[in-house]
């Protein structure tokens, strides 16, 4: 079935004229029709428009046009602006909003001929780790519908794993690409901060957010990164630096590479099957020629506390724009502008978003700024220096993506702290502004996926893609498909 193939396999078939874009889109739409009623990975599917885009792509190819993604259908997390499409961010407060422009990442995909299939579900404003915080219902894990898919990019991970998309885009503020990729058994890449323009990505925490691809193979992630990366005048935080040929860095061995194991990450609290699968993956990497060394990231234990000061503080400022005045939801019955703000935000935001706005406003308030926000920024610098020191002795770092596999729906909703602690291995990467990759590395006894995290220094995507690809080629985990929704 065409919908089960990787992005590069589909691209090759289209290039050789062995199939049409319309055939691929139709196969994916049929898969969505069979599975997504229960999975709920999509918020909207633009079936008619996707078929029109496919027809245009087929005509362009027949006329001799080329594009690395020409005619390939891709799903988009509902936090990225695509011209003419809604962008709800999983929130009621953006009800009725239609984007008047393309995000830069979207524009670059469009220039390569990508077909935009639909909008995937997410935790409201990317605030969550389970996709249970969406205003439009939960997404289920395709390996076990009683479990969460992870978050906040849970919809994107689920549709890729369930073959309801060839690839998808997510966003990663504290692990929101890598953790759902781990939970759903697909590949998730969080690039270096600034490597992909954030213009058109609805902001959660501006100094942490990064767009990332979610794919079936590491080579597919490398291709999407290749297309989206590069400086952008519309985003002053983007890196105006040459973009290497990421696919050229992919190798089948790791000879000459040194990989670090952070001693602070392999401690008590890891799920037994997660630890076993990650340790087995480390041995595979050793067998591929890598030298394995121990490194130390001593400030990692402060990462969660640091993140949950900085991210809510930035969210408090970023989400102040949603006031019911200019666009989106507007509460009825307001007596004056202040009353309008209060009612709109009270009715439009969900409980997790409110929790983080309140926390962020508190840590930024007079008398608490220095004690909390300023102190957190100092610790963030120390966390970044820990990574810089570690990378003096290794090319990349290996660790679990998450301490547990996917948990049951509702299991952690009553305990936000327990939910936050699930990001303990991913949050430090965002705080340091470096890159990380999640690659499938096996299953638990309950047949739930486990992900191996490969972390690299700033602009170290070539190294982590090489490690991920070599490991992937030496194993078959990425070829496994969930059967629970068949």
Provide the pairing of β-strand 167-171 with 187-190. unpaired
* Catalytic site residue from 152, 156, 171, 238: 152
pLDDT at position 178 is 98
Q: How confident is the model at residue 101 (pLDDT cuts 50, 70, 90)?
A: very high
> Per the structure block, which two tokens stand in for 336?
């004056």
What is the Cα–Cα distance from 410 to 138, expressed in whole angstroms?
Answer: 10
* Catalytic site residue from 31, 35, 77, 190: 77
Domains in the chain: boundaries: 2-264+274-296+385-479
CATH number of 2-264+274-296+385-479: 3.90.1300.10
**91 flagged as catalytic:** no
Q: How much is the pTM? A: 0.97
- Beta bridge partners of residue 443, listed in sequence order: 449
Q: How confident is the model at residue 484 (pLDDT cuts 50, 70, 90)?
A: low
Of 95, 148, 144, the closest CA to residue 123 belongs to 148
- Beta bridge partners of residue 214, listed in sequence order: 168, 188
Sign (positive/negative) of CA torsion 307, 94, 418, 400?
negative
pLDDT at position 421 is 86
* Catalytic site residue from 176, 197, 316, 438: 176
Q: What is the mean pLDDT of residues 354-378?
A: 94
pLDDT > 70? residue 485: no
pLDDT tens per residue across span 155-200: 999 999 999 999 999 999 999 999 999 999 999 999 999 999 999 9
- Contact between 165 and 75 under an 8 Å Cβ cutoff? The reply is yes
pLDDT tens per residue across span 243-266: 999 999 999 999 999 999 999 998
pLDDT tens per residue across span 192-242: 999 999 999 999 999 999 999 999 999 999 999 999 999 999 999 999 999
**249 flagged as catalytic:** no
**77 flagged as catalytic:** yes
What are the percentages of helix, strand and coil residues in the chain, rounded to 5?
45, 15, 45
Complete DSSP assignment for 383-443: HHHHHHHHTTT-SEEEEESSSS---BTTSSTT-HHHHHHTTTTTHHHHHHT-EEEEEEEEE
Average pLDDT over all residues of the chain: 96
Residues whose CB is less than 8 angstroms from the CB of residue 379 and which lie 6 or more positions away in sequence, other chains included: 299, 302, 306
pLDDT tens per residue across span 22-65: 999 999 999 999 999 999 999 999 999 999 999 999 999 999 99
CA–chain centroid gap for 248, Å, is 23
pLDDT at position 219 is 98
pLDDT at position 267 is 78
């Amino acid at each position: 079935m065409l919908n089960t193939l990787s992005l590069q396999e589909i691209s090759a078939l289209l290039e050789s004229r062995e199939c049409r874009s319309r055939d691929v889109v139709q196969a994916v739409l049929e898969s969505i029709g069979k599975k997504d009623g229960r999975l709920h990975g999509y918020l909207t599917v633009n079936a008619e428009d996707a078929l029109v885009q496919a027809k245009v792509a087929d005509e362009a190819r027949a006329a001799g046009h080329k594009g690395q993604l020409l005619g390939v259908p891709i799903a988009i997390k509902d936090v990225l602006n695509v011209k003419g499409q809604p962008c709800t961010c999983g929130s009621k407060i953006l009800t009725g909003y239609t984007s008047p422009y393309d995000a830069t990442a979207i524009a670059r995909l469009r220039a390569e001929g990508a077909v935009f299939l639909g909008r995937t579900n997410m935790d409201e404003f990317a605030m969550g780790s389970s996709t249970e915080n969406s205003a439009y219902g939960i997404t289920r894990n395709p390996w076990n519908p009683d479990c969460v898919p992870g978050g906040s990019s849970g919809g994107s991970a689920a549709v890729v794993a369930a073959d309801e998309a060839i690839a998808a885009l997510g966003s990663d503020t504290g692990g929101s690409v890598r953790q759902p990729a781990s939970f759903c058994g697909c590949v998730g890449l969080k690039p270096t901060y600034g490597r992909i323009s954030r213009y058109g990505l609805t902001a959660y925490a501006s100094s942490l957010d990064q767009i990332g691809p979610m794919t079936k193979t590491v080579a597919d992630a490398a291709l999407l990164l290749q297309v989206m990366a590069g400086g952008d005048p519309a985003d002053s935080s983007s890196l105006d630096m040459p973009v290497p040929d990421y696919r050229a860095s992919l190798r089948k061995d790791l000879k000459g590479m040194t990989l670090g194991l952070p001693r602070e990450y392999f401690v008590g609290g890891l799920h037994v099957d997660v630890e076993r699968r990650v340790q087995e993956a480390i041995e595979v990497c050793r067998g591929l020629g890598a030298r394995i060394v121990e490194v130390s990231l001593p400030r990692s234990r402060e990462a969660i506390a640091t993140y949950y000061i900085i991210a809510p503080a930035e969210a408090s400022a970023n989400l102040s724009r949603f006031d019911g005045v200019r666009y989106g939801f507007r509460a009825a019955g307001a007596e004056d502008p202040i009353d309008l703000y209060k009612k709109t935000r009270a009715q439009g935001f969900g409980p997790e978003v409110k929790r983080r706005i309140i926390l962020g406003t508190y840590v930024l308030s007079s008398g608490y700024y220095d004690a909390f926000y300023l102190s957190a920024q100092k610790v963030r610098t120390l966390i970044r220096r820990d990574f810089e020191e570690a990378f003096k002795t290794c090319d990349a770092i290996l660790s679990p993506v998450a301490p547990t596999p996917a948990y049951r729906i509702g299991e952690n909703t009553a305990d936000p702290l327990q939910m936050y602690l699930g990001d303990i291995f991913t949050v430090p990467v965002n705080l340091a502004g470096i890159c990380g990759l999640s690659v499938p590395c096996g299953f638990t006894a309950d047949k739930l996926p486990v992900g191996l995290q490969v972390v690299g220094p700033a602009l170290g995507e070539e190294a982590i893609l090489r490690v991920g690809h070599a490991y992937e080629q030496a194993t078959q985990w990425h070829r496994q498909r969930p059967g629970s929704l068949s």
